[in-house]
A and B are shown apart, each in its own frame.
Chain A
Amino acid sequence: MSDIKTETAPRPIPAPAVNNESKPFWEAAKQGRFLIKRCTACGEAHWYPRVYCPYCFSDTVWEESPGEGVIYTYSVMYRSPTGPYAIGYVTLNEGPAVLTNFVGCDLKTLKIGMKVKVRFQDTEGGPPVPVFAPV
Protein backbone atom coordinates (compact mmCIF):
# COMPACT_ATOMS: atom_id res chain seq x y z
CA MET A 1 0.00 0.00 0.00
CA SER A 2 3.08 2.24 -0.07
CA ASP A 3 1.78 4.05 -3.15
CA ILE A 4 -1.33 5.20 -1.32
CA LYS A 5 -1.08 8.72 0.00
CA THR A 6 -2.38 8.97 3.55
CA GLU A 7 -1.65 12.66 4.22
CA THR A 8 -4.94 13.63 2.73
CA ALA A 9 -7.15 16.62 2.37
CA PRO A 10 -10.18 16.43 4.73
CA ARG A 11 -12.87 14.02 3.58
CA PRO A 12 -16.03 15.90 2.51
CA ILE A 13 -18.52 15.48 5.36
CA PRO A 14 -22.29 15.64 4.77
CA ALA A 15 -24.50 17.88 6.90
CA PRO A 16 -25.34 16.12 10.18
CA ALA A 17 -28.97 15.27 10.95
CA VAL A 18 -30.14 17.80 13.56
CA ASN A 19 -33.24 17.40 15.73
CA ASN A 20 -34.80 19.36 18.60
CA GLU A 21 -32.86 17.38 21.16
CA SER A 22 -29.44 17.83 19.56
CA LYS A 23 -29.91 21.44 18.37
CA PRO A 24 -28.01 23.07 21.29
CA PHE A 25 -24.97 20.91 20.48
CA TRP A 26 -24.91 22.08 16.88
CA GLU A 27 -25.54 25.74 17.79
CA ALA A 28 -22.48 25.57 20.07
CA ALA A 29 -20.50 23.79 17.36
CA LYS A 30 -21.04 26.80 15.10
CA GLN A 31 -19.17 28.83 17.75
CA GLY A 32 -16.41 26.22 17.99
CA ARG A 33 -17.60 24.96 21.39
CA PHE A 34 -17.73 21.21 22.10
CA LEU A 35 -20.59 20.21 24.40
CA ILE A 36 -21.23 16.93 26.18
CA LYS A 37 -24.02 15.99 28.57
CA ARG A 38 -23.83 15.03 32.23
CA CYS A 39 -26.45 13.53 34.52
CA THR A 40 -27.82 15.74 37.31
CA ALA A 41 -28.42 12.65 39.51
CA CYS A 42 -25.60 10.11 39.07
CA GLY A 43 -23.06 12.64 37.75
CA GLU A 44 -21.95 10.47 34.81
CA ALA A 45 -21.07 12.05 31.47
CA HIS A 46 -22.22 10.21 28.34
CA TRP A 47 -22.03 10.35 24.54
CA TYR A 48 -23.91 10.89 22.19
CA PRO A 49 -25.96 13.51 24.10
CA ARG A 50 -29.41 12.50 25.37
CA VAL A 51 -32.06 14.32 27.44
CA TYR A 52 -32.17 11.37 29.85
CA CYS A 53 -29.10 9.66 31.25
CA PRO A 54 -28.51 6.24 29.62
CA TYR A 55 -27.24 4.97 32.99
CA CYS A 56 -29.93 6.07 35.47
CA PHE A 57 -32.60 7.72 33.23
CA SER A 58 -32.50 11.04 35.11
CA ASP A 59 -32.29 14.55 33.62
CA THR A 60 -29.05 15.70 32.03
CA VAL A 61 -27.43 19.10 31.45
CA TRP A 62 -25.04 20.41 28.81
CA GLU A 63 -21.47 21.22 29.73
CA GLU A 64 -18.58 22.50 27.66
CA SER A 65 -15.72 20.03 27.24
CA PRO A 66 -12.13 20.83 26.21
CA GLY A 67 -12.51 17.82 23.90
CA GLU A 68 -9.32 16.09 24.99
CA GLY A 69 -8.72 12.37 25.21
CA VAL A 70 -6.91 9.35 23.80
CA ILE A 71 -7.51 7.10 20.81
CA TYR A 72 -9.33 3.92 21.89
CA THR A 73 -9.23 2.35 18.40
CA TYR A 74 -9.25 3.35 14.74
CA SER A 75 -9.36 1.96 11.21
CA VAL A 76 -8.03 3.63 8.08
CA MET A 77 -10.47 3.12 5.20
CA TYR A 78 -8.57 2.62 1.95
CA ARG A 79 -11.47 1.68 -0.28
CA SER A 80 -12.86 5.18 -0.67
CA PRO A 81 -13.45 7.30 -3.77
CA THR A 82 -12.35 10.45 -1.91
CA GLY A 83 -9.10 9.00 -0.59
CA PRO A 84 -8.17 7.23 2.65
CA TYR A 85 -9.71 8.44 5.90
CA ALA A 86 -9.61 7.31 9.53
CA ILE A 87 -12.62 6.46 11.67
CA GLY A 88 -12.28 5.58 15.34
CA TYR A 89 -13.24 6.19 18.94
CA VAL A 90 -11.73 8.73 21.32
CA THR A 91 -12.04 8.14 25.05
CA LEU A 92 -12.65 11.64 26.42
CA ASN A 93 -10.97 12.65 29.68
CA GLU A 94 -14.52 12.96 31.07
CA GLY A 95 -15.04 9.21 30.40
CA PRO A 96 -17.27 8.56 27.41
CA ALA A 97 -16.03 7.22 24.09
CA VAL A 98 -16.87 9.27 20.99
CA LEU A 99 -17.04 7.99 17.41
CA THR A 100 -15.18 10.37 15.10
CA ASN A 101 -12.68 10.91 12.28
CA PHE A 102 -8.98 11.50 12.90
CA VAL A 103 -7.45 14.32 10.86
CA GLY A 104 -4.46 16.63 10.74
CA CYS A 105 -1.74 13.96 10.52
CA ASP A 106 -0.30 11.24 8.32
CA LEU A 107 -2.88 8.52 8.95
CA LYS A 108 -0.08 5.92 9.08
CA THR A 109 1.19 7.53 12.30
CA LEU A 110 -2.06 6.91 14.21
CA LYS A 111 -1.68 4.74 17.33
CA ILE A 112 -4.02 3.44 20.02
CA GLY A 113 -3.43 5.54 23.16
CA MET A 114 -2.34 8.65 21.22
CA LYS A 115 -3.48 11.97 22.75
CA VAL A 116 -5.93 13.92 20.59
CA LYS A 117 -8.00 17.09 20.80
CA VAL A 118 -11.22 18.16 19.16
CA ARG A 119 -11.47 20.55 16.25
CA PHE A 120 -14.41 21.37 14.02
CA GLN A 121 -14.64 20.58 10.33
CA ASP A 122 -17.03 22.27 7.91
CA THR A 123 -19.78 20.18 6.36
CA GLU A 124 -21.75 20.38 3.15
CA GLY A 125 -24.44 22.90 4.09
CA GLY A 126 -24.77 22.07 7.79
CA PRO A 127 -23.10 22.99 11.08
CA PRO A 128 -19.45 21.96 11.54
CA VAL A 129 -18.81 18.55 13.12
CA PRO A 130 -16.27 17.49 15.76
CA VAL A 131 -13.19 15.64 14.51
CA PHE A 132 -9.99 14.95 16.43
CA ALA A 133 -6.31 15.60 15.70
CA PRO A 134 -3.16 14.46 17.54
CA VAL A 135 -1.71 17.04 19.96
Chain B
Amino acid sequence: MSIKGKAYIGGVFEHPIRLATDQSTPQLHAECAKGALADAGLSKDDVDGYFCAGDAPGFGAMSMADYMGLKLRHMDSTETGGSSYVLHVGHAAEAIAAGKCSVALITLAGRPRSARPGGGGRPGGNPGDVPEAGFENIYGGSTHNTYGMCAMRHMHEYGTTSEQLAWIKVAASHHAQWNEHAMLREVVTVEDVLASPLIADPLHRLDCCVITDGGGAVIVVSPEVARSLNRPLVKVIGSAEAPKGPRGGRNLDLTYSGAVWSGPAAFAEAGVTPQDIKYASIYDSFTITVLMQLEDLGFCKKGDGGKFVADGNLISGVGKLPFNTDGGGLCNNHPTNRGGITKVIEAVRQLRGEAHPKVQVPSCDLALAHGTGGSLGTRHGAATLIMERE
Protein backbone atom coordinates (compact mmCIF):
# COMPACT_ATOMS: atom_id res chain seq x y z
CA MET B 1 0.00 0.00 0.00
CA SER B 2 1.33 3.43 -0.93
CA ILE B 3 0.69 6.45 1.28
CA LYS B 4 1.15 8.81 -1.65
CA GLY B 5 -1.72 11.24 -1.67
CA LYS B 6 -3.43 9.51 1.23
CA ALA B 7 -2.72 12.07 3.96
CA TYR B 8 -2.12 15.82 4.36
CA ILE B 9 -0.71 18.21 7.00
CA GLY B 10 -3.72 19.89 8.62
CA GLY B 11 -2.14 22.17 11.21
CA VAL B 12 1.21 23.15 12.72
CA PHE B 13 2.37 25.04 15.82
CA GLU B 14 5.76 25.99 17.25
CA HIS B 15 5.61 26.93 20.92
CA PRO B 16 6.98 30.46 21.37
CA ILE B 17 8.49 29.76 24.80
CA ARG B 18 12.24 29.22 25.15
CA LEU B 19 12.59 29.08 28.94
CA ALA B 20 9.70 27.34 30.72
CA THR B 21 10.28 27.94 34.41
CA ASP B 22 6.59 27.94 35.35
CA GLN B 23 5.15 25.06 33.29
CA SER B 24 5.16 21.28 33.53
CA THR B 25 6.28 19.18 30.59
CA PRO B 26 2.80 17.65 30.05
CA GLN B 27 1.40 21.18 30.02
CA LEU B 28 3.80 22.13 27.22
CA HIS B 29 2.67 19.10 25.20
CA ALA B 30 -0.94 20.19 25.72
CA GLU B 31 -0.21 23.79 24.74
CA CYS B 32 1.45 22.64 21.51
CA ALA B 33 -1.56 20.41 20.84
CA LYS B 34 -3.95 23.32 21.37
CA GLY B 35 -1.89 25.51 19.06
CA ALA B 36 -1.84 23.02 16.20
CA LEU B 37 -5.55 22.24 16.60
CA ALA B 38 -6.33 25.96 16.45
CA ASP B 39 -4.15 26.31 13.36
CA ALA B 40 -6.06 23.49 11.70
CA GLY B 41 -9.44 24.66 12.93
CA LEU B 42 -10.06 21.38 14.71
CA SER B 43 -11.01 20.54 18.30
CA LYS B 44 -9.56 17.99 20.67
CA ASP B 45 -12.50 15.65 20.15
CA ASP B 46 -11.61 15.39 16.46
CA VAL B 47 -8.32 13.71 17.42
CA ASP B 48 -8.43 9.93 17.24
CA GLY B 49 -4.75 9.14 16.71
CA TYR B 50 -1.78 10.23 18.88
CA PHE B 51 1.95 9.96 18.26
CA CYS B 52 4.70 10.74 20.75
CA ALA B 53 8.21 9.61 21.64
CA GLY B 54 10.51 9.40 24.64
CA ASP B 55 10.16 13.06 25.58
CA ALA B 56 6.51 12.47 26.49
CA PRO B 57 6.46 11.76 30.23
CA GLY B 58 5.01 8.52 31.48
CA PHE B 59 4.01 5.11 30.27
CA GLY B 60 4.37 5.22 26.48
CA ALA B 61 1.53 7.18 24.94
CA MET B 62 -0.89 6.29 27.72
CA SER B 63 0.01 8.93 30.31
CA MET B 64 -0.24 11.82 27.85
CA ALA B 65 -3.39 10.44 26.20
CA ASP B 66 -5.04 10.21 29.60
CA TYR B 67 -3.67 13.61 30.68
CA MET B 68 -5.17 15.36 27.65
CA GLY B 69 -8.35 13.29 27.82
CA LEU B 70 -7.91 11.90 24.33
CA LYS B 71 -10.27 9.17 23.19
CA LEU B 72 -8.16 7.29 20.71
CA ARG B 73 -8.35 4.39 18.36
CA HIS B 74 -4.71 4.60 17.28
CA MET B 75 -1.53 5.35 19.25
CA ASP B 76 2.19 5.14 18.51
CA SER B 77 5.06 5.95 20.87
CA THR B 78 7.80 4.73 18.60
CA GLU B 79 11.04 6.15 19.95
CA THR B 80 13.84 7.00 17.51
CA GLY B 81 15.36 10.07 19.17
CA GLY B 82 15.26 13.35 17.28
CA SER B 83 13.99 11.74 14.07
CA SER B 84 10.90 10.35 15.81
CA TYR B 85 8.55 13.10 14.67
CA VAL B 86 9.51 12.82 11.03
CA LEU B 87 8.85 9.12 11.28
CA HIS B 88 5.57 9.80 13.06
CA VAL B 89 4.31 11.77 10.06
CA GLY B 90 4.93 8.67 7.97
CA HIS B 91 3.28 6.40 10.51
CA ALA B 92 0.33 8.75 10.70
CA ALA B 93 -0.05 8.72 6.92
CA GLU B 94 0.03 4.91 6.89
CA ALA B 95 -2.51 4.74 9.67
CA ILE B 96 -4.80 7.20 7.95
CA ALA B 97 -4.50 5.39 4.61
CA ALA B 98 -5.45 2.20 6.41
CA GLY B 99 -8.44 3.82 8.09
CA LYS B 100 -7.00 3.49 11.60
CA CYS B 101 -7.44 7.17 12.41
CA SER B 102 -8.52 10.33 10.68
CA VAL B 103 -6.94 13.13 12.76
CA ALA B 104 -3.47 12.23 14.04
CA LEU B 105 -1.86 14.48 16.64
CA ILE B 106 1.94 14.45 17.06
CA THR B 107 3.49 16.31 20.03
CA LEU B 108 7.03 17.08 21.18
CA ALA B 109 7.88 19.09 24.32
CA GLY B 110 10.37 19.23 27.16
CA ARG B 111 12.21 21.45 29.64
CA PRO B 112 15.91 20.55 29.40
CA ARG B 113 16.95 24.18 29.93
CA SER B 114 15.04 24.81 33.15
CA ALA B 115 14.84 21.31 34.62
CA ARG B 116 18.11 19.76 33.42
CA PRO B 117 17.16 16.11 33.95
CA GLY B 118 20.45 14.84 32.67
CA GLY B 119 21.30 15.48 29.03
CA GLY B 120 22.39 13.38 26.14
CA GLY B 121 18.91 13.26 24.73
CA ARG B 122 17.90 10.61 27.24
CA PRO B 123 14.18 9.92 26.93
CA GLY B 124 11.77 10.25 29.80
CA GLY B 125 12.61 13.78 30.93
CA ASN B 126 12.11 14.73 34.56
CA PRO B 127 10.45 11.80 36.40
CA GLY B 128 8.43 14.37 38.34
CA ASP B 129 6.75 15.38 35.09
CA VAL B 130 4.88 12.10 34.56
CA PRO B 131 1.46 13.73 34.94
CA GLU B 132 -0.20 11.18 37.22
CA ALA B 133 2.92 10.30 39.24
CA GLY B 134 2.50 12.72 42.16
CA PHE B 135 -1.11 11.70 42.62
CA GLU B 136 -0.83 7.93 42.15
CA ASN B 137 2.66 6.49 42.68
CA ILE B 138 2.50 7.26 46.41
CA TYR B 139 -0.25 4.75 47.16
CA GLY B 140 1.60 1.47 46.77
CA GLY B 141 -0.14 0.43 43.57
CA SER B 142 1.19 -2.77 41.99
CA THR B 143 -0.17 -5.01 39.28
CA HIS B 144 -1.57 -7.32 41.99
CA ASN B 145 -3.65 -4.79 43.89
CA THR B 146 -4.75 -2.66 40.94
CA TYR B 147 -6.07 -5.79 39.18
CA GLY B 148 -7.45 -6.78 42.58
CA MET B 149 -9.50 -3.57 42.58
CA CYS B 150 -11.04 -4.59 39.24
CA ALA B 151 -11.89 -8.05 40.52
CA MET B 152 -13.44 -6.59 43.67
CA ARG B 153 -15.68 -4.27 41.68
CA HIS B 154 -16.59 -6.99 39.16
CA MET B 155 -17.68 -9.25 42.03
CA HIS B 156 -19.69 -6.39 43.53
CA GLU B 157 -21.55 -5.57 40.31
CA TYR B 158 -22.00 -8.99 38.75
CA GLY B 159 -21.71 -11.53 41.57
CA THR B 160 -18.55 -13.02 40.10
CA THR B 161 -16.92 -15.45 42.56
CA SER B 162 -13.39 -16.55 43.44
CA GLU B 163 -14.41 -20.09 42.43
CA GLN B 164 -15.27 -18.88 38.94
CA LEU B 165 -11.96 -17.01 38.62
CA ALA B 166 -10.15 -20.16 39.78
CA TRP B 167 -11.57 -22.12 36.81
CA ILE B 168 -9.39 -19.96 34.52
CA LYS B 169 -6.24 -21.13 36.30
CA VAL B 170 -7.53 -24.71 36.32
CA ALA B 171 -8.00 -24.62 32.53
CA ALA B 172 -4.51 -23.17 32.00
CA SER B 173 -3.00 -25.90 34.17
CA HIS B 174 -4.78 -28.62 32.17
CA HIS B 175 -3.01 -27.27 29.08
CA ALA B 176 0.37 -26.68 30.73
CA GLN B 177 0.71 -30.33 31.74
CA TRP B 178 1.46 -31.15 28.08
CA ASN B 179 4.02 -28.33 27.59
CA GLU B 180 7.47 -29.57 28.52
CA HIS B 181 8.73 -25.99 28.78
CA ALA B 182 5.96 -24.71 31.07
CA MET B 183 7.12 -23.38 34.42
CA LEU B 184 4.15 -24.93 36.26
CA ARG B 185 2.96 -28.28 34.83
CA GLU B 186 0.95 -29.60 37.73
CA VAL B 187 -2.80 -29.77 37.17
CA VAL B 188 -4.58 -27.79 39.90
CA THR B 189 -8.17 -27.70 41.16
CA VAL B 190 -10.47 -24.86 42.13
CA GLU B 191 -9.82 -25.82 45.76
CA ASP B 192 -6.05 -25.51 45.23
CA VAL B 193 -6.48 -21.97 43.91
CA LEU B 194 -8.71 -20.91 46.81
CA ALA B 195 -6.34 -22.47 49.35
CA SER B 196 -3.34 -20.53 48.03
CA PRO B 197 -2.41 -17.38 50.02
CA LEU B 198 -4.28 -14.13 49.45
CA ILE B 199 -1.92 -11.74 47.67
CA ALA B 200 -4.14 -8.72 46.97
CA ASP B 201 -7.76 -9.08 47.95
CA PRO B 202 -9.58 -10.93 46.27
CA LEU B 203 -6.73 -12.44 44.21
CA HIS B 204 -4.92 -15.51 45.50
CA ARG B 205 -1.41 -16.56 44.61
CA LEU B 206 -2.70 -18.98 41.95
CA ASP B 207 -4.77 -16.19 40.37
CA CYS B 208 -1.44 -14.57 39.43
CA CYS B 209 0.81 -15.35 36.45
CA VAL B 210 4.32 -16.72 36.71
CA ILE B 211 7.46 -14.56 36.61
CA THR B 212 9.86 -15.86 33.97
CA ASP B 213 12.89 -14.82 31.98
CA GLY B 214 12.80 -15.39 28.25
CA GLY B 215 11.18 -13.85 25.20
CA GLY B 216 9.93 -14.53 21.70
CA ALA B 217 9.80 -13.19 18.16
CA VAL B 218 7.34 -12.99 15.31
CA ILE B 219 8.17 -12.28 11.68
CA VAL B 220 5.48 -10.68 9.57
CA VAL B 221 5.89 -10.92 5.79
CA SER B 222 4.17 -9.84 2.58
CA PRO B 223 1.76 -12.24 0.80
CA GLU B 224 4.40 -12.79 -1.89
CA VAL B 225 7.04 -13.77 0.64
CA ALA B 226 4.55 -15.86 2.60
CA ARG B 227 3.71 -17.87 -0.49
CA SER B 228 7.38 -18.41 -1.22
CA LEU B 229 7.88 -20.04 2.19
CA ASN B 230 7.18 -23.67 2.77
CA ARG B 231 4.99 -22.99 5.78
CA PRO B 232 1.23 -22.98 6.39
CA LEU B 233 -0.32 -19.66 5.36
CA VAL B 234 -1.46 -17.61 8.37
CA LYS B 235 -3.05 -14.37 7.29
CA VAL B 236 -3.60 -11.26 9.43
CA ILE B 237 -7.21 -10.26 8.80
CA GLY B 238 -8.00 -7.83 11.61
CA SER B 239 -6.25 -5.73 14.22
CA ALA B 240 -7.18 -2.87 16.50
CA GLU B 241 -5.95 -1.09 19.61
CA ALA B 242 -7.25 1.27 22.31
CA PRO B 243 -6.02 2.89 25.55
CA LYS B 244 -8.22 3.18 28.62
CA GLY B 245 -7.61 5.26 31.73
CA PRO B 246 -9.61 7.11 34.37
CA ARG B 247 -9.75 10.17 32.03
CA GLY B 248 -10.36 12.67 34.79
CA GLY B 249 -12.21 10.28 37.07
CA ARG B 250 -15.74 10.88 35.77
CA ASN B 251 -17.90 7.72 35.62
CA LEU B 252 -14.98 5.50 36.54
CA ASP B 253 -15.77 1.90 35.56
CA LEU B 254 -13.12 -0.72 36.30
CA THR B 255 -15.30 -3.64 35.20
CA TYR B 256 -14.39 -3.30 31.54
CA SER B 257 -11.16 -2.97 29.57
CA GLY B 258 -10.07 -1.30 26.34
CA ALA B 259 -11.06 -4.56 24.62
CA VAL B 260 -14.60 -3.17 24.38
CA TRP B 261 -13.20 -0.89 21.68
CA SER B 262 -10.35 -2.94 20.17
CA GLY B 263 -12.39 -6.16 19.98
CA PRO B 264 -15.37 -5.00 17.91
CA ALA B 265 -13.07 -2.97 15.64
CA ALA B 266 -10.85 -5.97 14.94
CA PHE B 267 -13.83 -8.26 14.37
CA ALA B 268 -15.35 -5.74 11.97
CA GLU B 269 -12.12 -5.48 9.98
CA ALA B 270 -11.81 -9.26 9.80
CA GLY B 271 -15.49 -9.71 8.92
CA VAL B 272 -15.97 -12.41 11.54
CA THR B 273 -17.69 -12.65 14.93
CA PRO B 274 -16.60 -14.02 18.31
CA GLN B 275 -18.73 -17.09 17.63
CA ASP B 276 -16.56 -17.90 14.59
CA ILE B 277 -13.31 -18.03 16.62
CA LYS B 278 -11.96 -21.58 17.06
CA TYR B 279 -9.10 -20.71 19.44
CA ALA B 280 -8.31 -17.65 21.58
CA SER B 281 -5.07 -16.49 23.20
CA ILE B 282 -6.23 -14.19 25.99
CA TYR B 283 -3.77 -12.16 28.05
CA ASP B 284 -3.60 -13.76 31.48
CA SER B 285 -1.55 -11.66 33.85
CA PHE B 286 -4.25 -12.56 36.38
CA THR B 287 -7.42 -14.64 36.19
CA ILE B 288 -9.57 -11.49 36.32
CA THR B 289 -7.74 -10.17 33.24
CA VAL B 290 -9.02 -13.14 31.22
CA LEU B 291 -12.58 -12.89 32.51
CA MET B 292 -12.94 -9.20 31.71
CA GLN B 293 -11.38 -9.52 28.26
CA LEU B 294 -13.64 -12.46 27.31
CA GLU B 295 -16.68 -10.33 28.15
CA ASP B 296 -15.31 -7.24 26.43
CA LEU B 297 -14.41 -9.14 23.26
CA GLY B 298 -17.96 -10.43 23.05
CA PHE B 299 -17.43 -14.12 23.82
CA CYS B 300 -20.18 -13.71 26.40
CA LYS B 301 -22.40 -10.96 27.77
CA LYS B 302 -20.94 -8.38 30.18
CA GLY B 303 -21.18 -9.83 33.68
CA ASP B 304 -21.57 -13.43 32.48
CA GLY B 305 -17.82 -14.10 32.38
CA GLY B 306 -17.89 -16.05 35.63
CA LYS B 307 -20.49 -18.50 34.32
CA PHE B 308 -18.72 -18.65 30.93
CA VAL B 309 -15.34 -19.76 32.31
CA ALA B 310 -16.71 -22.23 34.89
CA ASP B 311 -16.76 -26.01 34.56
CA GLY B 312 -13.86 -26.25 32.12
CA ASN B 313 -15.34 -24.20 29.28
CA LEU B 314 -11.84 -22.92 28.38
CA ILE B 315 -10.21 -26.39 28.30
CA SER B 316 -9.31 -27.69 24.85
CA GLY B 317 -11.37 -30.75 23.96
CA VAL B 318 -13.78 -30.10 26.84
CA GLY B 319 -15.19 -26.59 26.57
CA LYS B 320 -16.56 -24.31 23.89
CA LEU B 321 -13.63 -21.86 23.75
CA PRO B 322 -10.16 -23.42 24.02
CA PHE B 323 -7.78 -20.74 25.35
CA ASN B 324 -4.05 -20.43 26.05
CA THR B 325 -3.26 -24.01 25.10
CA ASP B 326 0.44 -23.49 25.92
CA GLY B 327 -0.51 -22.98 29.57
CA GLY B 328 -0.50 -19.20 29.16
CA GLY B 329 1.05 -16.70 31.51
CA LEU B 330 -0.70 -18.38 34.43
CA CYS B 331 1.34 -21.59 34.06
CA ASN B 332 3.74 -21.51 31.13
CA ASN B 333 5.55 -18.22 30.52
CA HIS B 334 5.24 -14.47 31.06
CA PRO B 335 8.65 -13.27 29.83
CA THR B 336 9.93 -9.93 31.17
CA ASN B 337 6.47 -9.44 32.70
CA ARG B 338 5.18 -8.85 29.16
CA GLY B 339 3.40 -11.86 27.73
CA GLY B 340 1.92 -10.44 24.54
CA ILE B 341 4.21 -12.18 22.10
CA THR B 342 3.50 -15.61 23.57
CA LYS B 343 -0.18 -14.98 22.84
CA VAL B 344 0.55 -14.50 19.13
CA ILE B 345 2.91 -17.49 19.01
CA GLU B 346 0.44 -20.04 20.45
CA ALA B 347 -2.32 -18.77 18.16
CA VAL B 348 -0.01 -19.32 15.15
CA ARG B 349 0.84 -22.84 16.41
CA GLN B 350 -2.88 -23.63 16.56
CA LEU B 351 -3.54 -22.29 13.07
CA ARG B 352 -0.64 -24.31 11.65
CA GLY B 353 -1.79 -27.42 13.48
CA GLU B 354 1.48 -27.40 15.40
CA ALA B 355 0.13 -27.19 18.94
CA HIS B 356 0.64 -30.18 21.23
CA PRO B 357 -1.65 -33.01 19.97
CA LYS B 358 -3.37 -33.16 23.37
CA VAL B 359 -4.49 -29.52 23.05
CA GLN B 360 -4.64 -28.99 19.28
CA VAL B 361 -8.04 -27.65 18.22
CA PRO B 362 -9.40 -29.69 15.26
CA SER B 363 -9.70 -27.75 11.97
CA CYS B 364 -8.43 -24.58 13.64
CA ASP B 365 -8.73 -22.03 10.84
CA LEU B 366 -9.59 -18.86 12.78
CA ALA B 367 -7.84 -17.60 15.93
CA LEU B 368 -7.72 -14.50 18.07
CA ALA B 369 -4.88 -13.09 20.18
CA HIS B 370 -5.58 -10.31 22.64
CA GLY B 371 -3.25 -8.37 24.92
CA THR B 372 -3.52 -5.88 27.77
CA GLY B 373 -0.49 -3.74 28.70
CA GLY B 374 -0.17 -1.54 31.78
CA SER B 375 -2.80 -1.88 34.48
CA LEU B 376 -6.52 -2.55 34.17
CA GLY B 377 -6.95 -0.65 37.44
CA THR B 378 -5.37 2.59 36.22
CA ARG B 379 -4.38 3.02 32.55
CA HIS B 380 -3.73 0.34 29.99
CA GLY B 381 -3.51 -0.36 26.27
CA ALA B 382 -5.60 -3.09 24.63
CA ALA B 383 -4.72 -4.80 21.34
CA THR B 384 -6.70 -7.40 19.41
CA LEU B 385 -5.36 -9.47 16.51
CA ILE B 386 -7.38 -11.89 14.37
CA MET B 387 -5.65 -14.39 12.12
CA GLU B 388 -6.90 -16.91 9.58
CA ARG B 389 -5.46 -20.12 8.15
CA GLU B 390 -5.66 -19.87 4.37
Could you tell me which A residues sit within 8 Å of B by CB distance? 1, 11, 13-14, 16-22, 26, 44, 46-57, 72-80, 85, 87-89, 91-92, 95-101, 112, 123, 129
B363 contacts partner chain A, Cβ-Cβ < 8 Å: no
Contact indicator per residue, chain B 4-46, by CB within 8 Å of chain A (1) or not (0): 0000000000000000011111110010001000000001100
Complex Cα distance A88/B151, Å?
12
Set of chain B residues within 8 Å of A18, measured between Cβ atoms = 128, 134
Q: How far is the CB of B379 from chain A (nearest CB, A)?
A: 11
Query: CB distance A75 to B152 under 8 Å?
Result: yes
Set of chain A residues within 8 Å of B248, measured between Cβ atoms = 44, 46-47, 50, 53-55, 96
B136 contacts partner chain A, Cβ-Cβ < 8 Å: yes
Q: How far is the CB of A71 from chain B (nearest CB, A)?
A: 10
Complex Cα distance A88/B145, Å?
9
Set of chain A residues within 8 Å of B140, measured between Cβ atoms = 11, 77, 80, 85, 87, 101
Query: CB distance A48 to B149 under 8 Å?
Result: no
Give the total of B residues in contact with A, Cβ under 8 Å: 57
The one of A49, A74, A91 in contact with B152, judged by C-beta atoms closer than 8 angstroms, is A74
Query: CB distance A73 to B149 under 8 Å?
Result: yes
Set of chain A residues within 8 Å of B250, measured between Cβ atoms = 44, 46, 55, 95-97
Measured CB to CB, the nearest residue on chain A to B157 is A112
Query: CB distance A48 to B141 under 8 Å?
Result: no
Query: CB distance A47 to B249 under 8 Å?
Result: yes
B335 contacts partner chain A, Cβ-Cβ < 8 Å: no
B146 contacts partner chain A, Cβ-Cβ < 8 Å: yes
Q: How far is the CB of A74 from chain B (nearest CB, A)?
A: 6
Q: How far is the CB of A37 from chain B (nearest CB, A)?
A: 9
Set of chain B residues within 8 Å of A46, measured between Cβ atoms = 248-250
Contact indicator per residue, chain B 363-384, by CB within 8 Å of chain A (1) or not (0): 0000000000000001000000
